[in-house]
Structure formats: structure tokens, C-alpha cells
Amino acid sequence: MQRLLFLIVLLVSTAGMADGSLEEDVLQIHRSWEHANFELSGSEKIEGLERVAHAADRLVERWPGRAEPLLWKGITYATWAGARGGPGALGLARQARDALLAAERIDPGIMNGAIYTTLGSIYYRVPGWPIGFGDDDKAAEYFRKAMQMNPDGLNSNYFYGDFLLDQGQYRKAAEVLRRALRAQPDPEHPIADRGRRRQVEAALRKALDHAG
């Protein structure tokens, strides 16, 4: 039933791109992504994210030279890569990285530093050389930029906190994750807001368990 509802939402939203403004098109992608990412699971989640990523491809084609579609291509491909995992995810992560770097060249400050938050998450989660292009130093630099742009944001603090957790900096991770929970709720995107806060709470419990 969830899959059927998602397909209906995605078909309706992407069909509306033919006549909508850029803001409307981006909002449709955003809502389809948050449903697939936070309300689906298992194979349905992977398939859902794949469909949203391809919808983001069409958004890039429809709005050439604009940063917003490229940002959302980066976000959707990165999320799809994370859900899919395995060797096939590396190519998706590369496409996400390239889209985000293209968006950065147009408007680096879009969505309060979301480009840098997403790039940071990609660089620390992707394997390093010789398998992939992962690089913890690059990840740290991108997170520094993201935190400068959005020091109190839910996503910026969650992903930075998760990175610190991965680095074994448990006390600092807990501090950053607590700040994520203090972020203002997003009434326009309650599904993503609730889902992300659950992820923050899980990461915070892990950080506190390790911090002792």
C-alpha cells in the first residue's frame, strides 16, 4: 500500500513539472524525497529513492543553469546511494558529488549551506582510495563551511555530529547532536523533520554510550 501511494504521489508531482515554476518543481521533489527516505523501508525505499533521483534528473534538464535542481540531484542521488549500499552505490555517490559541485559553482549558499552538508556526508561515508574517493579531511572542511552558514540547523548539526561520531569524537558529537535537537521545527516539511530528529536521537544515544 505504501508503494502504491508513493507511486501516485510521484506520478502526480512529476507530471505537474510541465507547467510549474521552479519553486513548485523543487517542492514536489522535496516532498517525494522525504516520503521515500523517511516513510518507506527496505527494497521499497531503494526503489522509491531511485524514482525520485530520476525525477531530479528531469528537473535539471528542465531548469538548466539553476543551482536548486542540481542541489536536489545531489541530495537524491546521495540518499539513494546510502540506501542501496554495495559496489553500485559508488557510481551514484559520484553523480551526487558532481551535481553538488556544479551547484556550488552557481550558488554556494543555497539552502543554508546544504551543498556543503551533503558533500561532507558523501566524503566521509564513501570508501577512500583505492576503492573510492572518500576523504575525511575533505569531509571536515565541507562540514566547517556548512556550520559557518547554518550553525543551528537540524541537518547541518546532524550530519556533522554523525561525522564526529564516526571519528570517535564522542563528547563533541554529543554536543553537536544536542544542538541539532534544539533546531527550530520545520512545519512545511514535518515528515522530514520528524524522521531526521529520530536519527539525531539515535546518534546521540550512541555518542553518550561511548562517551561514558
pTM of the model: 0.90
List alpha helices for 126-186, DSSP H: 136-149, 154-166, 170-181
Cell of 50: 531511485
- Are the CB atoms for 165 and 146 separated by under 8 Å? no
Q: How many residues does the chain have?
A: 212
Cell of 68: 536548486
Half-sphere exposure of 133 (CA within 13 A, CB side): 16
> How many CB atoms neighbour CB 44 within 10 A?
14
CA 179 vs. chain centroid, Å, equals 19
Per-residue pLDDT in tens (0 to 9) along the chain, 212 residues: 445 444 444 544 444 454 689 999 999 999 999 999 999 999 999 999 999 999 999 999 999 999 999 999 999 999 999 999 988 999 999 999 999 999 999 999 999 999 999 999 999 999 999 999 999 999 999 999 999 999 999 999 999 999 999 999 999 999 999 999 999 999 999 999 999 999 999 999 999 999 87
